């Protein structure tokens, strides 16, 4: 069982659907990114603030398992957990259909942090996430 540290909900919008009436696979990336952005804001640093401080989180790997399709007007529960492995921040993210909590997708998203344009260990970014990371 994953120990989630953040959760948000949102509705699928009609323009996110493909010809079959289900969410196009590329939109799952948007959902995952939206959740990470909201998490960061909730943790005390928005992406605009990161940019002003010279911090640029950059994705290094994304793995997604698609499980149950999402459809128009579905409400989605998006959850994430976070761990740190060396310089990488690993987000474990799960999307669920809210009406029956069927899992729609599971993702493992890795990112690294650039500081002032240079690859860093990510300590500056980690300071904002300290309450969520095991030290």
* Strand 118-120 with 102-115, pairing: antiparallel
Work out how many domains the chain is built from and give that number: 1
Determine whether 18 is an active site residue.
yes
| Residue 1 belongs to some domain of the structure | no
| Residue 80 belongs to some domain of the structure | yes
- pLDDT averages per 10-residue partition of the chain, 135 residues: 90 94 95 97 92 94 97 96 95 97 98 93 91 80
pTM of the model: 0.93
> Of these residues, 14, 18, 94, 134, which one is catalytic?
18
Query: Could you tell me the CATH number of the domain that includes residue 34?
Result: 3.10.129.10
The confidence score (pLDDT) of residue 2 equals 72
Range of the domain at 104: 6-132
Q: How many CB atoms lie within 10 A of CB 69?
A: 16
| Residue 87 belongs to some domain of the structure | yes
* CB neighbour class for 28 (10 Å; exposed up to 12, middle 13-18, buried from 19): buried
| Residue 76 belongs to some domain of the structure | yes
The confidence score (pLDDT) of residue 134 equals 77
Stated as kind and residue range, the H or E segment containing 106 is strand 102-115
The confidence score (pLDDT) of residue 135 equals 55
């Amino acid at each position: 069982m994953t120990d989630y540290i953040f959760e948000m909900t949102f509705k699928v919008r009609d323009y996110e659907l493909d010809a079959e009436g289900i969410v196009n696979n590329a939109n799952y990336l948007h959902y995952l990114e939206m959740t990470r952005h909201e998490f960061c804001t909730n943790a005390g640093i928005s992406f605009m603030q990161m940019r002003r401080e010279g911090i640029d989180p950059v994705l290094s790997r994304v793995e997604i398992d698609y499980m149950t399709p999402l459809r128009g007007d579905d409400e989605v529960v998006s959850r994430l957990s976070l761990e740190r492995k060396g310089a990488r921040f690993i987000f474990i993210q799960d999307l669920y259909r809210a009406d029956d909590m069927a899992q729609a997708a599971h993702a493992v998203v890795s990112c690294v942090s650039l500081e002032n344009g240079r690859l860093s260990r990510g300590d500056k970014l980690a300071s904002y996430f300290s309450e969520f990371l095991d030290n």
